[in-house]
Structure 1
Amino acid sequence: MSDSDAVAAVTSALHVVLSKALSGPGVRVTSKTPDEAAADHQFPATLNLFLYRTTIDGGWRNTDPPGTRPGETGRPALPVVLHYLLTPYTTDDPQGLVALQILGAAMAALHDHSELGPDDYDKEAGLGDAHLQPEPVRITPVDLSVDDMSKLWSAFQSHYRVSVAYEARIVLLDSARPARAPLPVVRRGAEGRGPEAAPDPADPSPVLTGVTPQAATVTDELVLTGSRLDAGTPVVHLTHPLFGAVPLTTTAVSEHEVRATFEEAGRLVPGPWSVTVVLTGDDGTRQVTPTLPLAVAPSIAGTSLPLSARRGAGGTVKLKVECDPPVAAGQRVHLLVGDRPVPVTPFRGAREKTLTFSFRASGPGRHVLRLRVDGVDSPVVDGDATPPRIDEDLAVVVT
């Protein structure tokens, strides 16, 4: 996500895009007010990118932050729309053709580069994390009437120059108020059993009705239940919308149950996947069951649990947490410290196992820890305890 520096980060990214398009000698891109740009004769040709207005997008105003679940609270991000005016300035251009060439090159560049992706931002400039926001910023031309343009230049108190308007939508500024993510309910009712479904006995197709556990770690054995699951040689497939398909190793097969394990765990990432069973008959025919959602949960690895941390200046606490399996670049990663989501410190590699988090602690205390990757939480319930309870070792002790 992005912080209050995102407005400057987007403007800087547009600078880079336009500067690459205007690669001629003596041409530069500035972000000054129109009167300041007109008075600056240091360069013979200038394209001024002026942010003259900001508005709020009503469609995003009440949208929950990405990854927020029912029962959790988080103030929506501030959805800002940036309105820019592109104006060329030249000092030795009697016919004004050079200014028109500059404006045409700028418009062509924004037409071809109408969306700011993560690679367009200068991550070394210290202008926040705009490259991490889930919604790309789209650059769109705005058709201003002659009357609107006249009012703008009157407000600028500057002589009119040929200009074109653009808007950058949408820039999400995260709220500084911390979100709250309560601990999960351990069980509901006496046995905590969910709904059960039964297949149609008249349908000969294999059916997949359930998978346990629904949020599995790489060490768990998956139990897939259904009917006619022995109608051929089964192969269990996991599929991720971004990282492709991974086959699992089948360990047991019966008519109503298939068991499988994560033998190729190195290819997995935490997050939402889908699972299906492909049955191959003796004659080579293949039958595919309907898919079911399956969450691959991250695990807080390491033997030194609970973690211990000491507050630094201003109460800042820095934690290093081992995640299994490693997360990939671009995934949304938070450490839930008690009920407070803390975003991960950005990392450079394609995949990372050791994650760093920084947050402020008001005082000493013990906090339950959960990792959340793309909306999937690490397990926090001690399944060996009767009745089930929160695992006391999955915590950090702040001193």
Structure 2
Amino acid sequence: MSDALAIAAVTETVRAVLGEAVQHTVPGAEVTARHPNGAGDADAARTGPALNVFLYRTDVDPAWRNTDPVGTHPGETRHPALALALHYLFSAYAPPGDDSTLAERLIGAAMSALHDRPELRADDLRAAADFSDLHLQQEPVKLTPSVLTADQMCRLWTSLGGGYRLSVAYEARVVLIDSSAPGRTPLPVLRRGEAGAGPVAAPTAAAPWPVLDAVRPSVAAPGSDIVLSGSGLAAGAPSVHLTHMLLGGPPVVLPARADRADAVRATLGEDLGAGCWSAVVVLSAADGGERATRPRTLRVAPRVTSALPLTAVRDPQGAAVLEVRCASAVHPGQRVELLVDSRPVTAEPFTRATRTLRFRLAAGAPGRYPLRLRVDGVDSPLTDAETERFDADTAVVIT
């Protein structure tokens, strides 16, 4: 998830990473980001060596261009992200009259640094370019050398209008710039099949190893019970181990109890974080041995704890800022959106775990709209558990 400032953020971060390496190898050297022609004109006034970083071309990544937008559910439509590959030229400049190997040392320091650290880390992006949210992009930005033939290099320097300098080309891929065009997120289907259970498939013979077939409900709320069904789950004392797919960390171990033949039941903790979890049933035998099933996905829904319905007052430009409290806390790096009717609104950036989120709603017509909070693709409940109808209070009123 990145904004239109992501290109400049990559350039500034590359400057910072190379600046550290160049200073260590050639004390007093600087890293600039000028046009190579302008950098050459400045040679007369330059008092020390420098490495120039120049973005000379951008390409649309053909593979990422055809991928579905992050966080899109079936039936939803969104504009895909703009996927870019950035092409850089690193050129070495030495003071006028210098006949040493300063240029070679500058290029060597830059290539060595990117060989050891070919990926722009989130901490580097945040420190060097805090004006952009590129550090929240889940796909890393990697820098790899580009092979330019002598003819390509000659054409490039000729088009730049400057004399050739010792140079090396690099490619930064991939930079994903989110589309600002609004998407469409229809309201969910209330029921699929008899009692909303949908189709059921189960093995016909007992498996030699415990097998976990399904976790129900597939989307659960913190504090609720889940039933994990399969085969061979009565071969020991059961427990359920949960691992957050994005945040990681040590597994959350839940005590479990037999629910019926080949099924166990466990209660989720009230503070279990929203998002996608990996669920595993571990069976402990009397002799101390353990057997574990393969993981299945459990989606834990966020819960809006603000008084509902929310009220949004528009400013003279027609925009409104909503403050939404939720349980449990969401963490940096998680994708958080507020779905107002069928319109997704991305949360304003936050740098630490928080239970209070802010959303800026662009111009919209006054009215009452259904409201959902989406964290890592998992929506807060919109229906009443008893009536299985849309909850009228789970809404935002725009005045």
> What TM-score do the two structures reach when normalised by structure 1?
0.92
Partner Cα separation in structure 2 for residue 243 and residue 96 of structure 1? 51
User: What's the offset of the Cα at 1:150?
Assistant: 0.7
For residue 153 of structure 1, the aligned residue among 153, 157, 160 is 157
Q: How many residues align?
A: 393
Partner Cα separation in structure 2 for residue 227 and residue 140 of structure 1? 48
Conserved? CA contact 1:234–1:277, under 8 Å: yes
Aligned counterpart, 1:129: 133
User: What's the offset of the Cα at 1:380?
Assistant: 1.1
Conserved? CA contact 1:64–1:76, under 8 Å: yes
User: What's the offset of the Cα at 1:227?
Assistant: 4.7
User: What's the offset of the Cα at 1:161?
Assistant: 1.2
Identity %: 49
Partner Cα separation in structure 2 for residue 280 and residue 117 of structure 1? 40
User: What's the offset of the Cα at 1:252?
Assistant: 5.4
CA 1:281–1:141: 2 relative to 1, 3 Å: closer
Aligned counterpart, 1:396: 396
Aligned counterpart, 2:381: 379
Aligned counterpart, 1:328: 331
User: Which whole-Å deviations, capped at 9, do the CAs of 1:61-101 have from their partners, x for residues lacking one?
Assistant: 12111111221111111111111111111224431411221
Task: Establish whether residue 347 from structure 1 lines up as the match of residue 350 from structure 2.
Answer: yes
Letter in 2 for 1:328: H
Conserved? CA contact 1:26–1:43, under 8 Å: no
* Superposed counterparts of 1:15-164, under 5 Å: 15-23=15-23, 24-40=26-42, 41-122=45-126, 125=129, 127-164=131-168
- What SS does the aligned partner of 1:152 have? helix
Task: Establish whether residue 310 from structure 1 lines up as the match of residue 304 from structure 2.
Answer: no
Question: Which moves more between the two structures, 162-171 or 319-328?
Answer: 319-328
Unaligned runs of 5+ in 2: none
Aligned counterpart, 2:251: 245
Conserved? CA contact 1:308–1:396, under 8 Å: yes
Partner Cα separation in structure 2 for residue 330 and residue 309 of structure 1? 27
CA 1:259–1:46: 2 relative to 1, 3 Å: same
Aligned counterpart, 2:267: 261
Conserved? CA contact 1:325–1:353, under 8 Å: yes
User: What's the offset of the Cα at 1:239?
Assistant: 2.5
Task: Establish whether residue 217 from structure 1 lines up as the match of residue 221 from structure 2.
Answer: yes
CA 1:207–1:151: 2 relative to 1, 3 Å: closer
CA 1:363–1:199: 2 relative to 1, 3 Å: same
User: What's the offset of the Cα at 1:214?
Assistant: 1.1
Partner Cα separation in structure 2 for residue 112 and residue 313 of structure 1? 52
Conserved? CA contact 2:240–2:282, under 8 Å: yes
Partner Cα separation in structure 1 for residue 84 and residue 178 of structure 2? 11
Partner Cα separation in structure 2 for residue 169 and residue 187 of structure 1? 42
CA 1:84–1:125: 2 relative to 1, 3 Å: closer
Partner Cα separation in structure 2 for residue 86 and residue 146 of structure 1? 16
User: What's the offset of the Cα at 1:283?
Assistant: 3.7
Letter in 1 for 2:386: D
- What SS does the aligned partner of 1:249 have? strand
Partner Cα separation in structure 2 for residue 275 and residue 252 of structure 1? 16
Conserved? CA contact 1:230–1:254, under 8 Å: no
Conserved? CA contact 2:212–2:231, under 8 Å: yes
User: Which whole-Å deviations, capped at 9, do the CAs of 1:288-333 have from their partners, x for residues lacking one?
Assistant: 344332111111123x111111112422221121221211221111
Aligned counterpart, 1:167: 171
User: What's the offset of the Cα at 1:253?
Assistant: 4.2
Partner Cα separation in structure 2 for residue 190 and residue 251 of structure 1? 27
Partner Cα separation in structure 2 for residue 94 and residue 124 of structure 1? 32
CA 1:54–1:281: 2 relative to 1, 3 Å: closer
What do you get for the CA RMSD once the two structures are aligned?
2.1
Conserved? CA contact 2:211–2:233, under 8 Å: yes
- What SS does the aligned partner of 1:218 have? coil
User: What's the offset of the Cα at 1:186?
Assistant: 0.7
Aligned counterpart, 1:14: 14
CA 1:38–1:206: 2 relative to 1, 3 Å: closer
Letter in 2 for 1:260: A
User: What's the offset of the Cα at 1:201?
Assistant: 4.2
Conserved? CA contact 2:12–2:128, under 8 Å: no
Conserved? CA contact 2:227–2:263, under 8 Å: yes
CA 1:34–1:205: 2 relative to 1, 3 Å: closer
User: Which whole-Å deviations, capped at 9, do the CAs of 1:348-385 have from their partners, x for residues lacking one?
Assistant: 22x21111111213221222111111111111121211
Letter in 1 for 2:181: R
Task: Establish whether residue 279 from structure 1 lines up as the match of residue 275 from structure 2.
Answer: no
Letter in 2 for 1:5: L
Letter in 1 for 2:327: D
Letter in 1 for 2:29: V
User: What's the offset of the Cα at 1:257?
Assistant: 3.5
- What SS does the aligned partner of 2:17 have? helix
CA 1:381–1:47: 2 relative to 1, 3 Å: same
CA 1:219–1:44: 2 relative to 1, 3 Å: same
Question: Which moves more between the two structures, 197-206 or 323-332?
Answer: 197-206
Conserved? CA contact 1:199–1:207, under 8 Å: no
User: Which whole-Å deviations, capped at 9, do the CAs of 1:188-232 have from their partners, x for residues lacking one?
Assistant: 356433112334345465444333211011121112334554443
Partner Cα separation in structure 1 for residue 232 and residue 88 of structure 2? 62
Letter in 2 for 1:236: V
> What TM-score do the two structures reach when normalised by structure 2?
0.92
